Structure 1
Amino acid sequence: MHALPLNPLMLLASHHRRLRPPPLLLHHCGFAPVKKLKLVTVEAIAMLGSLHHSSSDTDNNDNKNGNNNSGVLAAAVPSTRELLLACADLLQRGDLPSARRAAGVLLSAASPRADAADRLAYHFARALALRADAKAVGRGVDPGLVAAASARPASSGAYLAFNQIAPFLRYAHLTANQAILDAVEGARRVHILDLDAAHGVQWPPLLQAIADRADPAAGPPEVRITGAGADCDTLLRTGSRLRAFARSIQLPFHFTPLLLSCAATHQGAGASTTADSSAATSLELHPDETLAVNCVMFLHKLGGQDELAAFLKWVKAMAPAVVTIAERETAGGGFDRIDDLPWRVAVAMDYYSAVFEALEATVPPGSRERLAVEQEVLGREIEAALGPSGGRWWSGLERWGAAARAAGFAARPLSAFAVSQARLLLRLHYPSEGYLVQEARGACFLGWQTRPLLSVSSWQ
């Protein structure tokens, strides 16, 4: 398996076209106006560890003696956020021994099974520890051990659990599906290019809706999905499930896996380098098809402004009827500080603190599903955001919209039904006053309390 080269569009003289997508460098991205905090020393982090191990004894003695030193300790000990930023600063400056020691202390003081703030601290400390180990490769650390710890895909069970306990994916899928359904109304042949097919959970509701809308006299239209991804086996399993579902509703359907890149392989990680011959490495288009391009949680994986512009230009050349974009929203922003690791940590913490608070408020304590989701989905997103080859964050819809317009796209406002359907989803399946849906600037936003977390927009 190999990454697809960036190539001008290749138009063949036959009845269809084969296009090669631009190369995809998997990164996370974002911007936020994070206030620069005074970074504390590694000694202060060590202080946290000593306080953590002696806190119960201290509390007991204070209670017996009628003393209350909590105010003194609060003034002396920096916040967890400051400690994480200090660890990031040590990594930034190349002080790996201190950074690894700091991350270890933070890990010992936090727990993935405590309250939301503690769980968040644990996952950020773990991501920084993995970052320190990755930087230590070449300094005597076995690269296979680092790879085994950091390059594990989330299980399908954790992915589906995330879909059940949090509305983010279902909201993005439902809203994008409605935009696609509106755009392909009346088409006899529909082609959907899904740039991050994963387990394919987005598509059964759309296939069902297309079948239900079919004219009884003409019969259902033919639907073809090209599902893109980096893991060939996952794509093939996804295709099998979707084909079985389409047969069950008597919908003419085809699925083609599109291999964008292969996962990095390491000697100690047990990864395979063999590509399955069933996975295509070029995209086939037919002139009689109505094309929809689905970019749900995909654009942030592109490597930067130039690669984003090249990708959108490539999509525009295919003349799709609709392009759906769903991405995380970061607060404020406007400056790309990819090389500033403390900045990246602060931006990511602002976002994921709201996500963890939402799960804390809406999922029962001790939930196994939440533990799996935070470890296998959210925890690995945090690892990717802070990792040596990741961490690119953007300023949300403002950036995506500007890039789309620069590539020649115009906004396609979401229908009133799409917005009301998103609100109904929350009321029926995630009944909490904390989650809010708001329509603005032609897009639909999902947020927790006053914090926007995800936007869905449609372009043509």
Structure 2
Amino acid sequence: MHPHGQMIENRCANLERSELSQWVEHVTKQLIEDLPDETETDHLTKMVCDSGVSALLTEYRPKNIGRKNSGVVQAAQWCNDDELGDESGSKPDEQGLNLLTLLLECAVAISVDNLGEAQRMLLELTQTASPYSPSCAERVVAYFAKAMASRVINSWIGVCSPLIDYKSVHSTFQIFNNISPFVKFAHFTSNQAILEAFHRQDRVHIIDLDIMQGLQWPALFHILATRIEGPPQVRMTGMGSSMELLVETGKQLSNFAKRLGMYFEFHPVAKKFGNIDLSMLQIRKGEALAVHWLQHSLYDATGPDWKTMRLLQCLSPRVITLVEQEIGHGGSFLDRFVSSLHYYSTIFDSLGAFLPSDDSSRHRVEHCLLYREINNVLAIGGPARSGEDKLRHWRIELSRNGFIQIPMSTNSMAQAQLILNMFPPAHGYTLVQGDGTLRLGWKDTSLYTASAWTSHSFKIHSIH
């Protein structure tokens, strides 16, 4: 291909990538706004049964979105040129938008238990959308359709939660850490808050609610080991589902601490935090206690939320560092679908902005991490399936349950900005400081929110 032609093709691809999440945000928001109230559920169900999901969406979808030519979506009619695209009015590719709107229709069918209609649409989606496509929209649809197909199958044969290859998940998480700033943002902002809470403390204890490979802790150890007043004695409780992997992680961290000349103990607990009693954490008097929780949707790392909250209250830690995904795990299926579609289309946009469609690292992250999260939210998760309501935002619940927020310091903000500068294109990522939190997102869509908390018994102030 002529170099100029290649440049134009790349530019068009980048336009599609940067606009996908914007389109999804507009359409899904309008979809939810136009759906009927609960009092109209009977009318909604009857309409789907009598006339199919297309009739339902004709009445409740944004009025300018309509199907044409036996199901082809003309999404460009929905918004004007100023809302999406550049000066030329370019839009994301029509094929991707056709598939996205069919996916929306399928989600509505599933939400009213019209599984036959959902199955018909899923067959079309799974045969058409490819996870290897240059189009971000098509890749998103491919993984969402696969997750929704799992949900439909589970609805017929019963709920099944697939076995998790934790070693594969953890290694892919490390790849995600290398190609995107999100994981590093979580690690470094949390480390800074913990470092400030441990100021002048001689004996410290860190409880990591899902330690995985312990990627974030060597950086903190290095800073603690070089403190002017000398390094503290460090104990760490690492929680996870595999004792074998926990022991391996403990050995690696112990070897690193030994090279730094720092006293270190590691205590593996192969259980979920919400399913243990206080004695298993081996709390010692006189230790400064920190609890770290990097939330994700890969699997349920902590067990029942109410038990997790109760145990945190019993521990009364000096600091809790919390990094939350801006995605809803509770509510109805349609609520979770809309929230996750907006969230993951944004992450796919961010990866596609500077990694080619055939990049092996990008595909592995999308296939082994992002798809697993999508599947967990849509096919496995949800109050009706788990039997338990998940808390929407833990930072709100911590405030309601007696914890005091510690504002993220200017040092945390500076570190987060340095991290963003490591990942091109830097202008695509957004960093916002407000309400005592730090939020990292893409194209003004917040994706991860970092916050720090303390118990009433401590009065810690950030070092500015």
Looking at structure 1, the residues matched to 294 and 175 of structure 2 have their Cα atoms a distance apart, in angstroms, of 18
Do structure 1's residue 253 and structure 2's residue 249 form an aligned pair?
Answer: no
Check if 1:117 corresponds to 2:137. yes
Matched, 1:223 2:234: yes
2:436: which partner in 1? 442
Structure 1 residue 252: Cα displacement: 1.0
Aligned counterpart, 1:316: 313
Q: Does 1:353 align with 2:345?
A: yes
Distance in 2 of aligned mates of 1:307 and 1:450 = 32
The amino acid that maps onto 2:155 is K
Letter in 1 for 2:31: K
User: Could you tell me how far 1:227 is from its partner in structure 2?
Assistant: 0.8
Paired residue for 1:233? 244
Match of 1:80 among 76, 99, 102: 99
CA-CA distance at 1:123 after TM superposition: 0.7
Partner of 1:243: 254
Q: Residue 433 of structure 2 aligns to a residue in which SS?
A: strand
Q: Which of 376-385 and 400-409 deviates more?
A: 400-409
Structure 2 counterpart SS, 1:446: strand
> What CA distance in whole angstroms lies between the structure 2 residues aligned with 1:253 and 1:181?
16
Residue deviations 1:367-395 (CA, integer Å, cap 9, x gap): 10000000001110000010233487765
Deviation at 1:136, TM superposition (A): 2.7
What does residue 269 of structure 1 align with? none
Larger mean Cα displacement after TM superposition, 419-428 or 309-318: 309-318
Any residues of structure 2 matched to 1:182-197 within 5 Å, and which? 182-197=196-211
- Structure 1 pair 393/288, CA: closer, same or farther in 2 (3 Å)? closer
Q: Secondary structure at the match of 1:411?
A: strand
Q: Is the counterpart of residue 198 in structure 1 residue 212 in structure 2?
A: yes
Q: Distance in 2 between matches of 1:425 and 1:212?
A: 22
Q: Summarize the alignment of residues 262-273 of structure 1 with structure 2, pairs less than 5 Å apart.
A: none
Quick check: 2:54–2:105 contact (8 Å CA) kept in 1?
no
Q: Which letter does structure 1 place at the counterpart of 2:323?
A: A
Aligned equivalent of 1:90, options 82, 100, 109: 109
CA contact (8 A) 1:34 1:346 kept: no
User: Out of 173, 176, 196, which is 1:162 matched to?
Assistant: 176
Q: Provide the rounded CA distance (Å) in 2 between the counterparts of 1:213 and 1:176.
A: 18
Match of residue 374 from structure 1? 366
Question: What do residues 103-143 of structure 1 show as CA deviations (whole Å, max 9, x unaligned)?
Answer: 232111111111211111111001011112222325xxxx9
Q: Which residue of structure 2 aligns with residue 422 of structure 1?
A: 416
SS of aligned partner of 2:236: strand
How far off its partner does 1:457 sit? 0.5
Whole-Å separation in 1 of the counterparts to 2:128 and 2:425: 33
Partner Cα separation in structure 1 for residue 142 and residue 228 of structure 2: 50
Aligned length: 370
Q: 1:207 aligns with which of 182, 198, 221?
A: 221
Residues 348 and 193 (structure 1), Cα distance of their counterparts in 2 relative to 1, 3 Å cut:
same
Distance of 2:240 and 2:191 partners within structure 1: 19
Pair 1:362-2:362 in alignment: no
CA–CA separation in structure 1 for the residues paired with 2:198 and 2:29: 40
Note closer, same or farther for the CA distance 1:49–1:252 as it changes in structure 2 (3 Å cut): farther
Q: Residue 282 of structure 2: SS of its match in structure 1?
A: strand
User: Please, which moves more after superposition, 185-194 or 226-235?
Assistant: 226-235
For structure 1, which segment, 314-323 or 169-178, has the greater mean C-alpha deviation from structure 2 after superposition? 314-323
TM-score, length-scaled by structure 2? 0.71
CA contact (8 A) 1:34 1:343 kept: no
Distance 1:48 1:194, change over 3 A: farther
Aligned to 2:12: none
Shift of 1:160: 0.9
Tell me the alpha carbon deviations over residues 271-315 of structure 1, each in whole angstroms, 9 at most, x when there is no partner: xxxxxxxxx9821100121100111116997799x9545433421
Identity of aligned residues (%): 31
How far does residue 194 in structure 1 lie from its aligned partner after superposition? 0.6
Give the letter for the 2:417 counterpart.
R
Q: Is the 8 A contact 2:97 2:137 kept in 1?
A: no
Give the aligned partner of residue 17 of structure 2. none
Alpha-carbon distance, 1:196 to partner: 1.2
Q: Which has the higher contact order (CA 8 A, sep 6+)?
A: 1
- Unpaired segments ≥5 residues, structure 2: 1-27, 36-47, 58-66, 73-93, 384-388, 455-464
- The yes-or-no answer on 1:342 pairing with 2:334 is yes
Unaligned stretches of 5+ residues in structure 1: 1-31, 53-73, 263-279
How far the C-alpha of 1:436 sits from its partner, in A, is 1.4
Preserved CA contact (<8 Å) 2:340 2:374? yes
The structural deviation recorded for 1:251 is 1.4
Q: String of CA shifts for 1:335-373, please: whole Å, max 9, x gaps.
A: x962x2223211110111111111111323421000000
The 3-state SS of whatever aligns with 2:249 is helix
CA contact (8 A) 1:423 1:437 kept: yes
Q: 1:293 to 1:402 in 2, by over 3 A?
A: same
| Deviation, structure 1 residue 444 | 0.6
TM-score (norm 1): 0.72
8 A Cα contact 2:185 2:416, kept in partner: yes
Query: Per the alignment, do residues 383 and 281 of structure 1 end up closer, same or farther by CA in structure 2, a change over 3 Å counting?
Result: farther
Matched residue of 1:354: which SS?
helix
Question: Alpha-carbon deviation of 1:238?
Answer: 1.4
In 1, Cα distance between equivalents of 2:298 and 2:398: 14
Residue 33 to residue 284, structure 1, CA distance change in 2 (3 Å)? farther
Give the conservation status (yes or no) of the 8 Å contact 2:353–2:425: no
Q: Secondary structure at the match of 1:428?
A: coil
Distance in 1, Cα, partners of 2:293 & 2:395: 13
State the AA in 1 paired with 2:372.
Answer: R
RMSD: 3.5
2: CA distance, partners of 1:51 / 1:293:
51
CA distance in 2, matches of 1:160, 1:49: 45
Equivalent in the alignment of 1:389: 381
Partner of 2:104, secondary structure, is helix
**Higher helix proportion (structure 1 or 2):** 2
Native 8 Å contact 2:132 2:357 kept in 1 = no
Q: Which of residues 265, 287, 290 is equivalent to 1:289?
A: 287
Conserved? CA contact 1:191–1:289, under 8 Å = yes
Q: Which deviates more, 345-354 or 79-88?
A: 79-88
Quote the residue 1:108 is aligned against: 127
